[in-house]
């Protein structure tokens, strides 16, 4: 919690009109002006290659930690991080019950009227206790998954495991809600193209509505997630720390004209305190850009 509130103090997102509020408007009120923030004139600029959806790399965590198959699976993980920046993780070990509970509770949460949600969060953010418990259980499980992936990445990069230790990690969980949009669905995006500012992100759909597309070779590849997989992507921090070897890839979310889309995203950050960086900087002799090596892994 301490690190969460620290992050909240660092910065918040740009205020926008609430999308549930927008979705509740009469179709006639959803003018181009009302939707201006969401309309992307360049939405069709690059091709969407549906036929490549099945090529998204898959990494099996069980095989990754089996000495017999480590090498083969580690090669897949390295390829995924270097060439795609996105991959699906199977055998992640998150209990089915934890997955089912969080999906159920997030769906129920977003069915509450907007004023009830606001009131709940204002008066007592912990009051919707069932969802709170589900979120906590899910976070605990995802921390283990993140730890396994980060450990494997450390082995692949041959870096000191201490540098990737959990004590430098901060975890942020977010629930995403994209309402259906009948008017101008073909011009509106749920999430504009962006790469993640995190070290690593673990994504998972909450309902069955697809929409995520990832950038590859100047085109968009729609993601069709395996029902049991978690989707992982390299974030900007990992790209920086690997000197650009691992790629933090742009992605976007298209919306569905008739159905809402729900997803959850766990972002993992690795902290470097300015004080630590400064202490490191001061305690070393001036030597070109060597102090930067302190934040880079490679
Ligand atoms: O919902 C998704 O699949 C992706 C969401 C996303 O890109 C984000 O939360 O930054």
Q: How far is the CA of 191 from the centre of ligand 1 (A)?
A: 7
* CB of 212 sitting under 6 A from ligand 1: yes
Q: How far is the CA of 272 from the centre of ligand 1 (A)?
A: 25
pTM: 0.86
Pick the CATH number of 4-293 from 3.40.50.620, 3.40.50.150, 3.30.70.20, 2.60.120.330: 2.60.120.330
pLDDT of 285 reads 62
Q: Can you tell me the mean pLDDT for 253-267?
A: 92
Q: How far is the CA of 34 from the centre of ligand 1 (A)?
A: 23
Residue among 93, 110, 170, 99 nearest 134 (CA): 99
pLDDT for 122-154, tens place per residue? 776 666 578 889 999 999 999 999 999 999 999
pLDDT band at 297 (very low <50, low <70, confident <90, very high): low
pLDDT of 6 reads 60
Tokens for 73? 């699976």
pLDDT of 2 reads 45
Q: How far is the CA of 167 from the centre of ligand 1 (A)?
A: 26
pLDDT for 163-202, tens place per residue? 787 777 888 999 999 888 877 778 888 898 999 988 999 9
- Distance (Å, rounded) from C-alpha 285 to C-alpha 282? 7
CA 196, chain centre distance (Å): 7
pLDDT of 286 reads 62
* CB of 223 sitting under 6 A from ligand 1: no
* CB of 263 sitting under 6 A from ligand 1: yes
* Mutate which of 190, 203, 249 for ligand 1 pocket (most atoms within 8 A of beta carbon): 203
Q: Is the dihedral of CA 154, 155, 157, 163 positive or negative?
A: positive
pLDDT band at 1 (very low <50, low <70, confident <90, very high): very low
Q: How far is the CA of 203 from the centre of ligand 1 (A)?
A: 7
CA 230, chain centre distance (Å): 10
Average pLDDT across the chain, whole number: 86
Nearest CA to ligand 1 atom 9: 265
Domain range list for the chain: 4-293
Tokens for 94? 């998150």
Say if CB 264 and CB 225 are below 8 A apart.
Answer: no
* CB of 204 sitting under 6 A from ligand 1: no
Say if CB 223 and CB 217 are below 8 A apart.
Answer: no
* CB of 176 sitting under 6 A from ligand 1: yes
Supply angle C-alpha 208, 96, 221, rounded to 5. 35
């Amino acid at each position: 919690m301490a690190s969460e509130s620290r992050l909240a103090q660092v910065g918040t997102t740009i205020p926008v009109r609430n999308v549930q509020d927008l979705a509740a408007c009469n179709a006639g009120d959803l003018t181009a002006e009302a939707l201006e923030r969401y309309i992307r004139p360049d939405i069709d600029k690059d091709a969407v290659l549906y036929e490549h959806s099945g090529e998204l790399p898959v990494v099996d965590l069980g095989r990754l930690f089996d000495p017999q198959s480590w090498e083969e699976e580690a090669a897949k993980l390295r390829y995924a991080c270097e060439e795609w920046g996105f991959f699906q993780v199977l055998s992640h070990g998150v209990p089915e019950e934890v997955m089912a509970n969080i999906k159920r509770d997030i769906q129920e949460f977003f069915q509450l009227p907007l004023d009830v949600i606001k009131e709940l969060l204002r008066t007592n953010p912990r009051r919707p206790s069932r969802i709170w418990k589900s979120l906590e259980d899910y976070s605990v499980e995802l921390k283990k998954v993140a730890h396994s992936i980060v450990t494997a990445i450390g082995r692949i990069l041959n870096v000191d495991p201490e540098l990737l230790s959990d004590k430098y990690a901060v975890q942020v969980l977010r629930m995403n809600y994209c309402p259906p949009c009948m008017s101008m669905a073909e011009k509106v995006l749920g999430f504009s193209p962006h790469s993640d500012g995190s070290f690593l992100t673990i994504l998972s759909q909450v309902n069955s509505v697809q929409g995520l597309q990832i950038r590859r070779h100047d085109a968009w590849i729609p993601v069709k997630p395996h029902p049991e997989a978690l989707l992982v992507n390299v974030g900007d921090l990992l790209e920086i720390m690997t000197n650009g070897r691992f790629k933090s890839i742009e992605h976007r979310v298209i919306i569905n004209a008739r159905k809402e889309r729900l997803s959850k995203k766990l972002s993992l950050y690795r902290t470097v305190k300015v004080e630590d960086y400064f202490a490191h900087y001061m305690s070393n002799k001036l030597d070109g850009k060597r102090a930067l090596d302190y934040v880079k892994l490679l």
